Amino acid sequence: MPFVKANGLDFHVQEMNKGAGETVVLIHGMFANLSMYYFRIAPKLAERYHVVMYDYRSHGMSPKASSGFDLITLSEDLSGILDALEVKNYHLGGYSYGALLALKMAIRFPERVKKLIAIDAPDPAKTDLLEQPFDSESQDSFDTLIEYMHTDQQKTKSIFGKRRLEKYRKNYSQFINDSTVKEDMYQQRDFFEKGEVDSIKSKTLLLYGSSSDCIHACTRLNNMITNSSVTFIDGDHRAPLVNPHEVALSIETFLLN
Amino acid sequence: MDQITKQPVISREEIFSLLRTFIIEVIGDEFIEASEIQLESSFTRDLDMDSIEIVAFSEKVKNHFGEKIDFTGWLSDMDLDQIIELNLLEIVKFIESCLS
């Protein structure tokens, strides 16, 4: 598997269509991994663009870390990966917490981020959205996580085998209990209040599920980012997972216009 | 004068054997035995593989066969139901069709 050293860790990185003139970098959400793009969104974008995906620290096939899930450290991870790949400037898309990271990248590295796509970015001040996954004693919280990691709970849960459930339970429990992820995510709660987001100059697409519980963040971001536009797709917060073709099409249309 | 060497044809059994090796490498031989992996086995329902394991499997297929096999391009045209139900025989047939 391809691994790239950055910020002291060897990150799992996938690239498609390396020879293309422009690069699109895709960032997954917290508790997920690059597979959310790998099978259906990235190949469509790779018909035209060089696509780069990676797994966060402690996610997918990247190594475990006990800390560093705040947006500053994660943005250093990603910029280190892109330096190692010699990708100087790029379009950048992120989903959920990954969308907040994409915004942070555009704030920190405005000369490198061309167009920006924030897919169902949550409002980090709405910490109630974060509460349930961190109750590690609760069976409900594990099920909530499984639901968020997969597109159709009834469909996928019914065919989960013992090995996979045990793997998820072990990884989830270790991640929640033995790392600073909860504190690191809570630290971001004033991200929209600091005036940083207002400084984003990149042309930005806010791509949201039409019934997403994060939709108020869409309105806030649209007011804060000067050069932003909004596109809705059918579904809730998981719309990008349920409608990957629509997401790929929306991103491609935005990049071409 | 350059000698043109014809690429040896790989049999269905050899492709299946390769895929079986890839799956054991991805999942780990402590979790699965070769005999449990059949041509009819589906990734999700039978082999209990998750999406990041299927990524690892795809990479092994791409690295082994190179550009002759656009495995992710093939998967990208499927909907979720098809990927969940995908079995090894379908993959073997796809690889055969790319190599023929």
Per DSSP, the three-state class of A72 is: helix
pLDDT value of position A136: 46
Which region, left, alpha or beta, applies to residue A196 given φ > 0 means left and ψ of -120 to 50 means alpha?
alpha
Is B72 in contact with A16 (Cβ distance < 8 A)? yes
Smallest Cβ distance to B76: which of A2, A43, A161? A43
What is the pairing mode between strands A90-95 and A204-209?
Answer: unpaired
- Amino acid making up residue A86: E
Query: Would an 8 Å CB–CB cutoff place B58 in contact with chain A?
Result: yes
Contact A156, B85 (CB under 8 A): no
Contact A225, A197 (CB under 8 A): yes
Estimate the share of chain A in helix, then strand, then coil, as percent rounded to the nearest 5: 45, 20, 35
Nearest to A42 by CA among A58, A61, A24, A60: A24
For A218-243, how does the pLDDT look when each residue is reduced to its tens digit (9 = 90+)?
999 999 999 999 999 999 888 888 88
Complex-level ipTM: 0.83
Q: Report the residue count for chain B.
A: 100
Interval B3-15 mean pLDDT: 73
Percent of chain B with pLDDT over 70: 91
CB–CB contact B59 A43 (8 Å): no
Judged against a pLDDT cut of 70, whether residue A166 lies above it is answered with yes
> Inter-chain contact A40–B56, Cβ cutoff 8 Å?
no
Give the integer Cα–Cα distance in Å for A41 and A20: 17
Q: How far apart are the first and last CA of chain A?
A: 35
Whether B24 has its CB under 8 Å from any CB of chain A: the answer is no
